[in-house]
Amino acid sequence: MWKSVVTHIGAMALEFVDDKVLVFFGPAAPDALRDVSIIHESAEPFSGSLCVGDKLVVDGQDYEISKVGTQAQGNLQELGHISVYFTDAPDDILPGSIYVTPHRVPQVKLGSVIEIRQR
């Protein structure tokens, strides 16, 4: 299991909630993306694999990962970056994204705990 804590929410980060997407970045997020990102910090970088069937957990709410982009795992490991979509996945998804169910977006706040639990 991997765990991280939200330390900053960019001024425009929650504007994407209507589109059912949250954009996460680690503390080294580029300045140009900090306003649209939810910044989180973990004691250790993500070192596992992201697979369909794994769980994303936000403040105790479980979401099952239904689709994983080709660069999502590498982006999470290197940058702490991942875009999470709370919708049905199209055939072609953005490389750095994951899709999860159920489709209700969690209320992320400072101190929110983000976890990935592998099956």
Structure tokens at 59: 């403040």
The pLDDT, as a whole number, for residue 119 is 85
Question: How far is residue 88 CA from its own chain's centroid?
Answer: 16
Mean pLDDT value of segment 50-54: 97
Q: Which residues on neighbouring strands pair with residue 39, listed in sequence order? A: 8, 25
CATH classification of 2-117, choosing from 1.10.3720.10, 2.120.10.30, 2.40.33.40, 3.40.50.150? 2.40.33.40
Mean pLDDT value of segment 37-46: 95
Question: What global pTM score does this model have?
Answer: 0.95
Mean pLDDT value of segment 78-93: 96
What residues does each domain of the chain span?
2-117
Question: Are 51 and 119 contacting, i.e. CB atoms less than 8 angstroms apart?
Answer: yes
Residue 99 has pLDDT above 90, yes or no: yes
Dihedral angle of Cα 60, 66, 68, 74, to the nearest 10 degrees: 20
